[in-house]
Amino acid sequence: MSETSANESRLVRVELGERSYDIQIGRNLLAGLGETFAELFPGAKVAILTDETVAGLHLSSVEKSLQVAGIESHSIVLPAGEKTKSYEGLIRACDAVLDTRLERGDLVIALGGGVIGDLAGFVAGIIRRGMRFVQVPTTLLSQVDSSVGGKTGINSGHGKNLIGLFHQPSLVLADTSVLDTLPRRDFAAGYAEVAKYGLINDPAFFTWLEDNWAEIFNGGSAREEAIARSCQAKADVVAADEREAGQRALLNLGHTFGHALEGMADYDAKRLVHGEGVAIGMVLAHEFSARLGLCDPAVTDRVIDHLKAVGLPTRIDDIPGQKPDADLLMDFIAQDKKVSRGNLTFILTRGLGQSFVEKGVDPVLVREFLTEKLAEN
Amino acid sequence: MSETSANESRLVRVELGERSYDIQIGRNLLAGLGETFAELFPGAKVAILTDETVAGLHLSSVEKSLQVAGIESHSIVLPAGEKTKSYEGLIRACDAVLDTRLERGDLVIALGGGVIGDLAGFVAGIIRRGMRFVQVPTTLLSQVDSSVGGKTGINSGHGKNLIGLFHQPSLVLADTSVLDTLPRRDFAAGYAEVAKYGLINDPAFFTWLEDNWAEIFNGGSAREEAIARSCQAKADVVAADEREAGQRALLNLGHTFGHALEGMADYDAKRLVHGEGVAIGMVLAHEFSARLGLCDPAVTDRVIDHLKAVGLPTRIDDIPGQKPDADLLMDFIAQDKKVSRGNLTFILTRGLGQSFVEKGVDPVLVREFLTEKLAEN
């Protein structure tokens, strides 16, 4: 096996003053994890939070790497799936970390996808009023999005990510070779967030993706390029607006619709995973923008074409199972964190890669739009 | 009824940059709460978190005051007692606040003692990744200690306050007239924290307390003076060290021993409340300092005399029920948040009001000391 050494990996810095940290991106980083930790966090013990699926694939190599480096580690394996991002999963994970008797200065490792990253970051943020943690994302979605920026949390019966906090990791290790074992559907779901960075404000990146997506999926060097550019885009936005007072909201392109669709599908991964909700949500955001006369409908067609090409759903009708009604979707949208004084905030667009934050969206217009979309499907 | 107007109340500022806030201290502030909110937080709705005991005494006047000011409010009444500071209490409170559909910019009011303040602050800190909140402490303990400084949290089976975060309130309203209805035992327990500020670094304040404690208990103007001086002392420490990297730990004088005693008593308020644990803990801290040759034993006697005079327990033996053994207490001490690399941090003292943070305390010495104390009782 030929290993890429650490200095061949790409580095993206998230600039947040005393909370700044690096994102390392490259192949076979897991094998060197223990060494990296020994250098960056001397003396710290670790608790590895992971799920059953990821544990089966990657836990033993992480444990071995830590052991070789002489680092005490404790592994906590939770059930796989969005249901783990719940009150129950939170309590179980907190108690398990407390069982290890780790101290404030020790580390929690989030080894897994977005669910584990969001949960482990939350757990680290509230144990002993804040332990350090390291994101080791094992899905494309978590490598390009959820592991960067410090948003953590769980879902409640009221909606997604309604309980959580901002807690920045001390390091993100994105090992791109672990994506080789990722099911294609999950890879595509993560790719929706990659495409999102193009659609927010980088039309050249979107065009590059249209030309290079096959290599990204197949594991060529375009994959590291796409991940690094995505992380850089996110890092820039987060550095400018850590707690989403303004422009960070751009990262929610497609998410308000997407979250509502996920809620409607009861967070059932068989029906819809997050990235698929975002894909459909981004199409809806473009269609809604077109309907408001903001954006040329041809742009929407181009977005749909590309998302379809990589195998993503693009219509509410693509979601299997019972079709939602507009009331149910509006109910989820009203519970979204991005609501202010009854007005809705949406990310709208004036063209390809020309998104902007619109705070004063009248719920009546959204309901009309959704009602029509549901009727035409 | 003669009302004290707002400008007769005392004001203490907690200086924390963009997270700065005021502590208002005075009689009959609850009656003007709605007016205060309308002025400081225009347009914000509120969720009042309180417990059954406090609700019976003060909720209707708070609700009425908000109603008169035209502020939409929702009341959430939880069971009274330390058991509410639990995972179960947290979930119940989070769901209840989400039920109100309040938004990020709205407010949570913590109306109650330390349990409600710690829980409500935590809830506000994690709903929608952070809502604003206002502390309205109704016990002496919470007015002089827990409502100021942003520490929030709940207990777990592993120990006290092990789950939580730093989340600063936007305002603290300490209505000293509500203390008139406080049971004497609870007032005395809160007074332990007042005495603590003298013992940390203000011997003149301790001497003043020896002379004026009766007036403080009886509701004379020395009460506001004592509360304002305590809040100022805490505000100074918090402003210098918000997240307890160093000197803020001084506020834990008596708390490492005290928390262990509370844990040993299963957080059963019939046996021991927090302030009583702190009182015994402060005596132990002085005795331990004396045993290490740091502090004149005569200082311990003076501390014991004053705490006894106001009706506080001063010995482990004063706690009703089964006597702990040293192993059990050491177990709780080892789980304390103030542990670093196996060494214990204690607040020790060189004399009256000469406390300091000692990070490298050998657990063997603590165990020996506790074993002797338990044998001599």
B70: contact with A, CB 8 A cutoff: no
- Neighboring chain B residues of A101 at a CB cutoff of 8 Å: 334-335
Give me the pLDDT at residue B91, please.
98
Q: What is the pLDDT of residue A158?
A: 87
Q: Look at residue B6 in the predicted model and tell me its pLDDT.
A: 42
Per-residue pLDDT band for A3 (boundaries 50, 70, 90) equals very low
Contact call for B337 and A129, based on CB within 8 A? yes
**B105–chain A Cβ distance below 8 A for any pair:** yes
Q: Is the pLDDT of residue B338 over 70?
A: no
In the block, residue with structure tokens 């919470």? B142
B337 confidence band (pLDDT: 50, 70, 90): low
Q: Which tokens go with A314?
A: 């693009």
Q: CB-based contact (8 Å) between B99 and chain A?
A: yes
Q: What is the Cα gyration radius of chain A?
A: 20
The lowest-confidence range among A268-272, A340-344, A347-351 is A340-344
Q: State the nearest Cα–Cα gap between B146 and chain A, in angstroms.
A: 15
Question: Which residue type occupies B214?
Answer: A
CA distances from A220 to A26, A103, A212, A216 (A): 12, 41, 10, 6
A248 catalytic per annotation: yes
pLDDT in tens, B260-282: 999 899 888 899 999 999 999 99
Give the single-character DSSP code of A112.
E
B248 catalytic, yes or no? yes
pLDDT band at A4 (very low <50, low <70, confident <90, very high): very low
Does the CB of A130 have a partner CB in chain B at under 8 Å?
A: yes
Q: Do B156 and A94 touch (CB under 8 A)?
A: yes
Per-residue confidence (pLDDT) for residue A295, from 0 to 100: 97
Nearest to B284 by CA among B310, B320, B259, B251: B259
- Specify whether the CB–CB gap between A135 and A114 falls below 8 A: no
Q: Where are the alpha helices (DSSP H) in A202-325?
A: 203-218, 222-240, 255-264, 274-291, 297-309
By the 8 A CB rule, do A50 and A93 touch?
Answer: no
Rounded CA separation B317/B297 (Å):
20
A274 CB neighbour count, 10 Å cutoff: 27
Q: Residue B5: is its pLDDT beyond 50?
A: no
ipTM computed for the complex = 0.89
Query: pLDDT tens-digit profile of B83-120?
Result: 999 999 999 999 999 999 998 889 999 999 999 999 99
Contacts of B125 in chain A (CB under 8 A): 165
Q: What is the mean pLDDT of residues A134-147?
A: 97
Mean pLDDT taken over chain A: 94
Q: Is the pLDDT of residue A108 over 90?
A: yes
Distance of CA A210 to the CA centre of its chain: 21
Question: Hey, is A161 helix, strand or coil?
Answer: strand
pLDDT digit string (tens) for A15-64? 999 999 999 999 999 999 999 999 999 999 999 999 999 999 999 999 99
Chain A to chain B Cβ contacts (< 8 Å): 88
Among A58, A82, A167, A193, the active-site one is A193
pLDDT at B265: 93
Q: Rounded mean pLDDT of chain B?
A: 94
Of the candidates A253, A240, A29, A230, which has an alpha carbon nearest to the alpha carbon of residue A145?
A230
Mean per-residue pLDDT for A256-279? 93
B94 touches chain A (CB under 8 A): yes
Q: What are phi and psi of B186, to 5 degrees?
A: -70, -35
More confident residue, B74 or A243: B74
Which token pair is A174? 């994105």
Q: Predicted confidence band at A2 (pLDDT cuts at 50, 70, 90)?
A: very low
C-beta of residue A14 within 8 angstroms of C-beta of residue A150:
no
Q: Is B19 a catalytic residue?
A: no
CB contact burial B167-206 (16+ within 10 A = b; e otherwise): bbbbbbbbbbbbbeebeeebbbbbbbbbbbbbbbbbeebb
A174-190 mean pLDDT: 96
Round to whole Å and give the CA distance between B190 and A170: 39
* Reduced 3-state DSSP string for chain B: CCCCCHHHCEEEEECCHHHCEEEEEECCCHHHHHHHHHHHCCCCCEEEEEEHHHHHHHHHHHHHHHHHCCCCEEEEEECCCHHHCCHHHHHHHHHHHHHCCCCCCCEEEEEECHHHHHHHHHHHHHECCCCEEEEEECCHHHHHHHCCCCEEEEEECCEEEEEEEECCCCEEEEEHHHHHHCCHHHHHHHHHHHHHHHHHHCHHHHHHHHHHHHHHHHCCCHHHHHHHHHHHHHHHHHHHCCCCCCHHHHHHCCHHHHHHHHHHCCCCCCCCCHHHHHHHHHHHHHHHHHHCCCCCHHHHHHHHHHHHHCCCCCCHHHCCCCCCCHHHHHHHHHCCCCEECCEEEEEEECCCCCEEEEEEECHHHHHHHHHHHHHHC
| CB contact A335 to B (< 8 Å) | yes
pLDDT surpassing 70 at residue B145: yes
Q: Is the pLDDT of residue B29 over 60?
A: yes
Q: Is A359 on the interface with B (CB under 8 A)?
A: no
Q: CB-based burial of residue B70 (10 Å sphere; 0-12 exposed, 13-18 middle, 19+ buried)?
A: exposed
B91 interface with A at CB cutoff 8 Å: yes
User: Does residue B343 contact residue B361 with C-beta atoms inside 8 Å?
Assistant: yes
> Given this model, what pLDDT does residue B232 score?
97
**Is residue B11 less than 8 Å (CB to CB) from chain A?**
no
What was the pLDDT predicted at B82? 86
B43/A341 Cβ within 8 A: yes
Chain B: residue nearest A100 by CA?
Answer: B335
**Residue B190, pLDDT score:** 97
* Residue of B127, B129, B155, B339 to mutate, interface with A, max A Cβ within 10 Å: B129
Residue A377 has pLDDT above 80, yes or no: no
Compute the radius of gyration of chain B from its Cα atoms: 20
Whether residue A165 and residue B101 make contact (CB cut-off 8 A), yes or no, is no
Rounded-to-integer distance, Cα A105 and Cα A120, Å: 16
**What number of CA atoms fall less than 13 Å from residue A290's CA on the CB side?**
14
Considering only the beta carbons, identify the residue of B98, B156, B341 that sits closest to A162: B98
Quickly state the pLDDT bin for B245 (edges 50, 70, 90): confident
Measured in angstroms, the CA of A236 and the nearest CA of chain B are apart by: 21
Instruction: Write the pLDDT tens digit of every residue in A321-343.
Output: 998 999 999 998 987 766 667 78
Neighbouring CB atoms inside 10 A of B220's CB total: 12
Find out whether A281 and A258 touch, Cβ atoms under 8 Å. Answer: yes
> For this structure, is B255 an active site residue?
yes
Number of H helices, E strands in chain A: 14, 12
Instruction: Write down the pLDDT at residue A1.
Output: 34
Other CB atoms within 10 A of residue A328 CB: 15
Does residue B329 have a pLDDT over 50? yes
Q: Inter-chain contact A166–B129, Cβ cutoff 8 Å?
A: yes
Q: Which residues contact B59 (CB under 8 A, 6 or more apart)?
A: B48, B50, B75, B77, B111
The distance of B261 to chain A (nearest Cα, Å) reads 19
d(CA B224, CA B201): 20
Domains, chain B:
3-180 (3.40.50.1970), 184-376 (1.20.1090.10)
pLDDT of residue B339: 65
Q: Is the pLDDT of residue B4 over 50?
A: no
Among the residue ranges A112-126, A181-195, B331-345, the one predicted with the least confidence is: B331-345
Residues in contact with B208: Cβ distance below 8 Å, sequence separation at least 6, in sequence order: B198
Per-residue model confidence (pLDDT) at position B330: 93
CB A231 within 8 A of CB A11: no
Active-site option among B63, B242, B244, B276? B244
Q: Which helix (H) or strand (E) holds A35?
A: helix A33-40
State pLDDT tens for residues B183-213.
999 999 999 999 999 999 999 999 999 999 9
